[in-house]
Structure 1
Amino acid sequence: MSCFVIGDIQGHLDPLPRLLAAAGADPRTDRFWFAGDLVNRGPRNADTLRFVRNLGEQAISVLGNHDFYLLAIACGAIPRGRDDTLSDVLDAPDREELIAWLRHRPLMHVEGEHALVHAGLLAPWTVRQARELAHEVEGALQGPHWVEFLTRLWGAKPTRWSDDLHGADRLRVIVNAMTRMRMCAPDGEMLLKHKGPIASAPAGALPWFKVPDRRSTTHTIVCGHWSALGYHDGDGVLAIDTGCVWGGALTAVCLETREIYRLKCEQAAAPSGWE
């Protein structure tokens, strides 16, 4: 049995079955970790949710920023933007089942020496603390007041962590770090506006994983989200968003061997046995 980690799909389902077949993955016995952002920008969002859901207990998918966006517009917590591609989910006959399934995905998963999260972890957090903080968000999202939680979630402030944070501010920092963060100031403040490569970041800015005294170095942090960074295996991080949504490739990595499998996103033929 192997465990394969897969980068951001964002509704571009077609390459996934072929990629997993090329990796020799077996949906009956192998395990699959998805780094979040299952939906948005691609054409097959509902099918992507069904595909991952149908893998059952073989699959773990953490929540990404686009997944939160879908949940928020589906329940009316925020107005819908003009450039999303989520109509196939919102108009699906099984819409409520898909939304309920997505709402019950974890924000972070920790197993052995690996921690799976969509974007990253703030420097003051240990992996154990981060997992506890993720549980706080999961409790709010899965609880009876989840619409109110999402209504108050949107925004970029506060931009730094404090143990004294509470309420919506506390949950917003956790979600922004784990689903939106790329760069930070040296003191750990999140710089959420920067989305490009490291070379174009503001002077003095650092990738979140290079902020001094980061306490999560006890584990390899597996993440996606940052397509401009691309594949990165170093600094205690395995980053695997290689820009499928932007015409790049979808990447899978076998955790046991670190063997890399990559498929250009126009290579979409799906083999029998997977879809």
Structure 2
Amino acid sequence: MANYFVGDIQGCYDELRKLMDQVGFDPAEDVLWCTGDLVARGPGSLEVLRLFRDLGDAGRTVLGNHDLHLLAVHARLKKAKPKDRLQAFLDAPDSDELIQWLRRQPLYRHLPEHKVILTHAGVPPHWGVNDVIHRGDEVSDTLQSDHYLDFVAQMYGDKPDLDDPDASAYQRQTYTINCLTRMRLLYPDGRLDFYAKGDPVGEGTLVPWFRLPHPLLQEYRLVFGHWAALMGQSRTRNAISLDTGACWGHWLTFWQLETGLRFTQHADKVWG
């Protein structure tokens, strides 16, 4: 049995299938874990969602910011961006079923036996394991509730950008989403920045979330995507970066947990 972790797929279905073939992925024996952002940009968002749904326990993902946005687009709370190439999904006869499957996916995956936590963007430096579990589960409970669209409609925005013990439930959950699905660079006080996304070198006072004092990184490997500019290189022990810009014409990357080996597939085309 092997556990393969894949970076942001973003609709690059052909590259995903080629990588699965390259490693000889066997759903009867192996598990494929995704850092989220299954959809958008590439032409195969529908096929990627169907593949993960049909893999059952052999295909496990977390929610990324593009996946959450799809919930809003499907509900007509937001308009689809032409560059996200989602029309085939929106027209599909099983789109409603896939949306119900998608909103049951969590914001984190905890593999305690391997000391691994998987999220889309990372884990804030001031959070421990219990914070990830409690805060992530709180959002999941809301997304799986009958009134989830009330939350989806208001989850957009760059505030809150700092933890606030006096925040309302929705504000607290929006901060959780901002951390787990949008975080890249932080100010020294831990406040989130949402605009800088290039190489972290030369970003002034901003610091990558994994370069601030982070006790959890001493104990766990934190596997994440979301930051294509890193090209899979965090240069930080236990911060496992896997977004290598497939939709931007670069690579899709698998990381095998048991061996630490990486496998790559060059993108067929620039979609971003």
**Corresponding residue number in structure 2 for 1:225:** 226
Mapped partners of 1:19, 1:79: distance in 2: 32
Secondary structure of 2:83's partner? Answer: coil
Q: TM-score if structure 2 supplies the norm length?
A: 0.94
Mapped partners of 1:213, 1:220: distance in 2: 12
Secondary structure of 1:250's partner? Answer: strand
**Matched length:** 266
CA contact (8 A) 1:127 1:216 kept: no
- Name which of structure 1's ranges 23-32 and 214-223 shifts more when overlaid on structure 2: 214-223
CA contact (8 A) 2:125 2:212 kept: yes
CA contact (8 A) 2:80 2:86 kept: no
CA positional deviation for 1:152: 1.0
Secondary structure of 1:14's partner? Answer: helix
Mapped partners of 1:80, 1:246: distance in 2: 19
Unaligned segments of structure 2, at least 5 residues: none
**Corresponding residue number in structure 2 for 1:212:** 213
Q: Deviations over 1:73-110 (max 9, x none)?
A: 11123333343211111111111011111111111010
**Corresponding residue number in structure 2 for 1:55:** 55
1:236 aligned to which of 234, 238, 254:
238
CA contact (8 A) 1:184 1:207 kept: yes
**Corresponding residue number in structure 2 for 1:198:** 200
**Corresponding residue number in structure 1 for 2:19:** 19
CA contact (8 A) 1:64 1:179 kept: yes
Q: Deviations over 1:226-271 (max 9, x none)?
A: 000111263321010000000000000110100110010119xxxx
Mapped partners of 1:190, 1:217: distance in 2: 22
CA positional deviation for 1:200: 4.4
CA contact (8 A) 1:74 1:90 kept: yes
CA contact (8 A) 2:15 2:252 kept: yes
Percentage of identical aligned residues:
36
Q: Deviations over 1:16-63 (max 9, x none)?
A: 111122123212210110110000001011111001111111111000
Secondary structure of 2:264's partner? Answer: strand
Secondary structure of 1:198's partner? Answer: coil
Q: TM-score if structure 1 supplies the norm length?
A: 0.93
**Corresponding residue number in structure 2 for 1:39:** 39
CA contact (8 A) 1:186 1:212 kept: no
CA contact (8 A) 2:255 2:262 kept: yes
Mapped partners of 2:189, 2:31: distance in 1: 37
- Name which of structure 1's ranges 23-32 and 95-104 shifts more when overlaid on structure 2: 23-32
CA contact (8 A) 1:3 1:255 kept: yes
**Corresponding residue number in structure 1 for 2:132:** 130
What aligned pairs does 1:1-275 form with structure 2 within 5 A after superposition? 1-112=1-112, 113-201=115-203, 203-215=204-216, 217-232=218-233, 234-266=236-268
CA positional deviation for 1:215: 4.1
- Name which of structure 1's ranges 154-163 and 172-181 shifts more when overlaid on structure 2: 154-163
Q: Deviations over 1:120-160 (max 9, x none)?
A: 11111102211110000001101011110100101010111
- Give the residue type in structure 1 aligned to 2:26: D
Q: 1:129 to 1:16 in 2, by over 3 A?
A: same
Mapped partners of 2:89, 2:47: distance in 1: 9
Mapped partners of 1:217, 1:147: distance in 2: 38
Mapped partners of 2:161, 2:85: distance in 1: 29
Unaligned segments of structure 1, at least 5 residues: 268-275
Secondary structure of 1:5's partner? Answer: strand
Mapped partners of 2:53, 2:46: distance in 1: 11
**Corresponding residue number in structure 2 for 1:273:** none
CA contact (8 A) 1:187 1:211 kept: no
Mapped partners of 2:50, 2:214: distance in 1: 40
Q: 1:38 to 1:99 in 2, by over 3 A?
A: same
- Name which of structure 1's ranges 43-52 and 160-169 shifts more when overlaid on structure 2: 160-169
- Name which of structure 1's ranges 231-240 and 255-264 shifts more when overlaid on structure 2: 231-240
Q: 1:192 to 1:256 in 2, by over 3 A?
A: same
